[in-house]
Amino acid sequence: MKTKRIIAIFMLVLPLFCRSSICGADGFDSVRCGFDVGKALLGRKMSNEKAVAIEERHKDLGLKDLGGTEISDRLFLISWRICGEEYVLLEDQGVVRDVLKFPKHSKDSPQFIGSCQLNGHDVPGAAIGVLKNEDGVEILPAVIAWKIDDKQIKFVKLQTEGLRCSRDGIITTDGGL
């Protein structure tokens, strides 16, 4: 009788623990297409497993890992296609601290991450955005850009007038070079 009671309690308590990464949960479990994806991901702990396994678990979201880059020893930037849109996540030791719904980009308007200059002066830190591709020019004008504020762990929109960024920072997969 006592054993049955213990088993019953265990069966009731086990699902509470399965919300952790031990049972395959990750930050995408709270995301639903048609709702605020950024809000659903903020503050969530992301799984450290292979992207293929995460994509498989979240087929309903059309989830696709688009790549990532280390910003600092504790910050990581990763792009995901979620529900047909591109989102960039800024993670601090595996926890999503900011989410940016990323604009469309192409060969003529490639995506970049790297260094920029505003009116000829270096902008400190890394920036991410979309550039206007121009032949024969190494520093391209920004169409839209955000600075990665590593102290606040946020994306901060930059003014684009006079903002030019290095062609070396182009990371697009759609032929942006």
- 3-class secondary structure for 140-162? EEEEEEEEEECCCCEEEECCCCC
Average pLDDT, the chain: 86
Q: How many residues does the chain have?
A: 177
Phi then psi dihedrals of residue 34, to 5 deg:
90, -5
Full-prediction pTM beyond 0.85? no
pLDDT tens-digit map of 81-140: 999 999 999 999 999 999 999 999 998 999 999 999 999 999 999 999 999 999 888 899
Q: DSSP for 23-44?
A: GT--GGGG--TTS-HHHHHTTP
Domain ranges of the chain: 24-102, 111-169
Under the banding of pLDDT at 50, 70 and 90, the label for residue 24 is: low
CA distance 50 to 121: 40
Tell how far CA 80 is from the center of its chain: 6
